[in-house]
Amino acid sequence: MGTLRQRGGRWHAQIRLRGFLPQTASFQRKTDAKTWISDTESALRAGRHFPAAESRRRTLAELAERYLETVQRRRPHAYAKERTTLEWWKAKLGRYALANITPAMIAEKRDELLAENIGTDKAPQRRGPATANRYLALLSKAFSLAVSEWRWLKDHPMRGGQVSRETPPQGRVRFLSDDERKRLLAACRASGVPDLELVVLLALTTGMRRGELRALRWADLDLQRRVAVLEKTKNRERRAVPLMPEMVELLKDRVRRIDTDLVFPQRGSARPIDFDKPFAQAVKVAKIEDFRFHDLRHTAASYLAMSGATTPEIAAVLGHKTLAMMKRYSHLSEQHTSAVVERMTSKFFREA
């Protein structure tokens, strides 16, 4: 129940309900105090009460730290990356109370993020739209927890599109031609780096990501069924990837180490293999322009599309979840479909 007391010309209201922390406020008019008691009691019982003092007392720096504590408990694998992002927001807005942060302030810092030079004076480099969107998405996620779980805010300044996201460029699709593929595999074979050719072949035939290959363990492989079951994927969902018979034979011929379950450990270490520099050198030796390791995944998807795989089938192999990612290779599937239709219709005209 609420109580009213008049002190020093102001009305002090207090609410004490079983199971809730006491709530207090002061007003110049008695009618305002009564209205506050009625509204606040109803909000408390309905679970809709957000103490205004929390949003004025809590800063964005506290929001970031509280969110990171949650991440460390629920998703420890994401902690390091998300901490880097939130440290940037703390540096820009950390001293401000949550109640004082507006959509305009966040949009201003978004523009600063895009304008920052993260390269050198001789080779300037700017963050892209996709990176800016990730920074915004993580901050919005932290604000949402402050609203839904911690009751620090009634609403937050990024809800409902109040801070616009950047338009990302069209997704890159760079895949190897048949000649480039042969040259790259020959360069990997001649590099003298153990496992480099096998890693590249596995990436080309399965579309596995770099991190998935590095984390691959023998327990993930079912060579009898010719499938790899990936537990640690980018979207944190298990994915089964078929293995070609030739790949199965190559994997069977490998000597398994007893000190680690990793399929591709470093020589003399139980840590995952680091193939970035050897791969970049092999690309250079093969004289292939504008090609990165992740493009092996694009190559696998493109080969699937040109072999007649449907967009959902490609998505199932690669683990794509968004429509935009699935459509990236649709034009290659459409070319194959057109060729099939042309062969079918030409038969009709020949018969006529």
Q: Do 213 and 305 belong together in one domain?
A: yes
Other CB atoms closer than 10 Å to residue 39's CB: what's the count? 12
So what's the pLDDT on residue 63?
94
Q: What is the CATH number of the domain that holds 280?
A: 1.10.443.10
Q: Do 293 and 255 belong together in one domain?
A: yes
In a domain, 172, yes or no: no
So what's the pLDDT on residue 87?
96
Q: Do 111 and 147 belong together in one domain?
A: yes
So what's the pLDDT on residue 136?
95
At residue 56, φ and ψ (nearest 5 deg) are: -85, -30
Q: Do 197 and 301 belong together in one domain?
A: yes
Residue 271 pLDDT more than 80? yes
In a domain, 232, yes or no: yes
Domain extent for 198: 178-342
In a domain, 173, yes or no: no
So what's the pLDDT on residue 64?
95
* Bridging pattern class, strands 221-222 and 227-230: antiparallel
Residues with Cβ within 8 Å of 182's Cβ and at least 6 positions away in sequence, in order, are none
Q: Do 157 and 228 belong together in one domain?
A: no
In a domain, 347, yes or no: no
Query: What is the tally of structural domains in the chain?
Result: 3
Q: Do 244 and 277 belong together in one domain?
A: yes
297 contacts 204 by C-beta, under 8 angstroms: no
Q: What average pLDDT does the structure give for the chain?
A: 82
Q: Do 259 and 287 belong together in one domain?
A: yes
CA atoms within 13 A on the CB side of 58: 22
Please state, in angstroms and rounded to a whole number, the distance separating the CA atoms of residues 152 and 149. Answer: 8
Residue 213 pLDDT more than 60? yes
In a domain, 145, yes or no: yes
Q: Do 150 and 198 belong together in one domain?
A: no
In a domain, 166, yes or no: no
Please state, in angstroms and rounded to a whole number, the distance separating the CA atoms of residues 201 and 3. Answer: 75
Instruction: Give the pLDDT confidence of 227-270 residue by residue, as tens digits.
Output: 888 876 666 667 888 888 888 899 988 878 888 889 888 887 88
Residue 346 pLDDT more than 50? yes
In a domain, 285, yes or no: yes
The reported pTM is 0.56
333 contacts 311 by C-beta, under 8 angstroms: yes
Q: Do 85 and 216 belong together in one domain?
A: no
So what's the pLDDT on residue 27?
82
Three-state DSSP class for residue 70? helix
Three-state DSSP class for residue 184? helix
Please state, in angstroms and rounded to a whole number, the distance separating the CA atoms of residues 35 and 30. Answer: 9
In a domain, 170, yes or no: no
Q: Do 138 and 208 belong together in one domain?
A: no
Q: Do 140 and 285 belong together in one domain?
A: no
Q: Do 148 and 116 belong together in one domain?
A: yes
So what's the pLDDT on residue 40?
77
What's the rounded mean pLDDT across residues 168-183?
Answer: 79
Instruction: Give the pLDDT confidence of 89-134 residue by residue, as tens digits.
Output: 999 999 998 888 999 999 999 999 999 988 888 888 888 888 999 9
Long-range contacts of 97-100 (CB under 8 A, 24+ apart): 97/55, 97/56, 97/57, 97/58, 97/59, 98/54, 98/55, 98/56, 98/58, 98/59, 98/60, 98/63, 98/146, 98/152, 98/153, 98/156, 99/52, 99/55, 99/56, 99/153
Structure-derived torsion over alpha carbons of residues 56, 62, 67, 72, reported in degrees to the nearest 10: -160
Instruction: Supply the angle between the helices 79-93 and 60-74 in degrees, to the nearest 10.
Output: 180
Q: Can you name the residues that pair with 7 across neighbouring β-strands? A: 10
